[in-house]
Amino acid sequence: MRAATPGGSRINTGALWLASVMDPPSIILTQWADNPDHLADVRFDVLRATDSLGMRALDELANMPASLGPVLYCRPRQTVEFLVPAGAVETWEDLRGTVCVGRGGALLCPAPGVTGRGRTWLYPPTGDGVLTDPSLLRDHLRRAYERRRP
């Protein structure tokens, strides 16, 4: 399913879902039509991992697609950002190379299928609402940290 935005660009169901879980939803679709990415408050948590840890964990999680939600690569920060359910920040253990940003934090992200300001979706939202399981992610990030090179 695709819908036209006021700027005339085409937005897929993943973009519609992502806009629906960001504040304010109606403005985000309009902003994406005019700007490759948009800063918005989120209704989920975002787990940021250094790119080396995040990519190692992502390689393993990619073999378990039912457990993997949207994942954003942020070149300026050199981080991999996993969208996880709201509340994960409250139980996130201190794990070197990671930080969890809670609901209400801001996320600068492009519309799915677009790269903007050095940010691109590695696994774009599909519209199904699946977010990465934070416990599973923590386990994979911990293993990636333990296997890192000194």
User: What pLDDT digit, counting tens, does each position of 16-42 carry?
Assistant: 888 777 766 666 777 776 666 666 667
For the entire predicted model, the pTM comes to 0.82
- Of 119, 148, 128, 150, nearest to 46 by C-alpha is 119
What pLDDT, on a 0 to 100 scale, did the predictor assign at position 104? 66
Check residue 12 and give its pLDDT.
75
Q: Which parts of the chain have pLDDT scores under 70? A: 1-11, 23-27, 33-41, 65, 104, 149-150
d(C-alpha 117, C-alpha 109), whole Å: 9
Q: What is the pLDDT of residue 8?
A: 38
- 147 Cβ neighbours under 8 A, 6+ residues apart: 56
Provide the pLDDT for residue 1: 33
CB 41 within 8 A of CB 22: yes
- Give the H/E segment covering residue 18: helix 13-20
Give the C-alpha separation, 126 to 106, whole Å. Answer: 21
